[in-house]
Structure 1
Amino acid sequence: MSDNYITITTVKEVKNPKELSEKILKWLQTKEIIESELSDCILSTKKKGYKPANKHTDAIGYNENILSLQVCGLEVKTEREVFNAGAFTPFTKLECPNCNTNRFKGISPQDFYTENCTEEQLNRFNTVFPEFDKWSNNKDTSLTCPHCLTKSNLASYKTDNSIAFSNLGFTFWNWPDLKEEFLMELKTEIGMDIVRMNGHL
């Protein structure tokens, strides 16, 4: 069986990710959205997550019996990460903060998947991944825009919300789509704009 996930992250780094994550966990537990105890309920051999609690349907609006699944928990991340990097493609918007041009302008799905891209176009795509690794490891990052030739920090590029440069993330494994009302409450509790990313493994 394949697994789906919904990841909620902040739009940028927060100062105290562990403290803020504990605040959000307590809020979710008080509302009985998740259980208080950690258990084996996420896709990780190193970490545990929080299973849905009695009132988890308040966050999703209806019950799809997710408790019958082995993978059904909430995973919390408090380390710097390019969230959803596995979904990154040349069709992800990565817009230069200087000239507002998408780094991958001119690359079509047909060309990319039929290997008709030029070497320059492939280089535009492939050179991003080492910067992802640097950013996740707290190193200085920079990308040179192929259009205006300006060098900018990776995190200053604008994306289409399919990836996020953050150090605080909450991944709901195999939960149905979250209610807008719940997301607005979560945003208020976090105190910053959030990004929702859906994925599939």
Structure 2
Amino acid sequence: MNSQRIIVPKMSSVIAHEARARAILRWLVRERVIEEQPSTCGSTGNRMGYALTDGARNVALQPERLPFGEPVNGLEVVLDRCIYTPTQGFLEEAGCAECRREVGEPLFDSLEEWMPGLTDNFTCPLCGHEDDINGFLFLQPCAFSNLGFIFNGWGEAGFSATFLDAFADWLDQPIAVVQVDRPSPAVKA
């Protein structure tokens, strides 16, 4: 399995998201969680990411499960509007924070307007409550944002609560941690 843990701010449009990403990267380099220079240790696009280093052991719940020595073990930063959900078994269920009723189907249908940035908000069709889409209640961790941090191969290692609190402080936003498990890509000869 190629597992990921993705840290995402619970805000659709993070202001100055590129500057915040750079600040997070500098912090992670200072903490020796990642290498300073990107390399081909990612899993998407051009495969560029920031490889993990020994300091990653200090922020993982199960450091022995970190992907040291694996070709895909790096942090990738996403600076585009993206939907972060588990890839297997995601229920697409959501509730309104105001009336506490199920609004999953209309909320997920509204992503057609959210994705191109036409709106950040969703309005509950049952009570009229309007909020950033991340303000609604989800049964499984997921998030919708223009900023995301994909930790490749870290799914089983997890993150310490202290690290997650510090990450949220650096972002100045509450965060979601989304776990994604998917089969490893086939190796071609």
The normalised TM-score by structure 1 is 0.75
Amino acid at match of 1:11: K
Q: Which residue of 1 aligns with 2:171?
A: 190
Aligned partners of 1:133, 1:46: CA distance in 2, in Å? Answer: 27
* Kept after mapping to 2: 8 A contact 1:92/1:162: no
Structure 1: any 5+ residue segments left out of the alignment? 105-123
Shift, 1:87, TM fit = 5.1
Query: Cα RMSD between the aligned structures?
Result: 2.6
Structure 2 counterpart SS, 1:24? helix
Q: Which residue of 2 aligns with 1:199?
A: 180
Matched, 1:21 2:2: no
Aligned partners of 1:25, 1:16: CA distance in 2, in Å? Answer: 14
The normalised TM-score by structure 2 is 0.79
Matched, 1:38 2:38: yes
Aligned partners of 2:56, 2:129: CA distance in 1, in Å? Answer: 45
Percent identical: 19
Count of residues in correspondence between the two structures? 176
Larger radius of gyration: 1
Task: Label 1:53 to 1:158 Cα distance change in 2 as closer, same or farther (>3 A).
Answer: same
Q: Which residue of 1 aligns with 2:3?
A: 4
Amino acid at match of 1:75: E
Structure 2 counterpart SS, 1:39? coil
Shift, 1:33, TM fit = 0.5
Which segment is superposed worse, 72-81 or 91-100?
91-100
* Kept after mapping to 2: 8 A contact 1:94/1:159: yes
Normalized per residue, which structure has more helix?
1
Aligned partners of 2:58, 2:162: CA distance in 1, in Å? Answer: 10
Shift, 1:186, TM fit = 1.5
Matched, 1:134 2:113: yes
Aligned partners of 2:49, 2:103: CA distance in 1, in Å? Answer: 36
Structure 2 counterpart SS, 1:5? strand
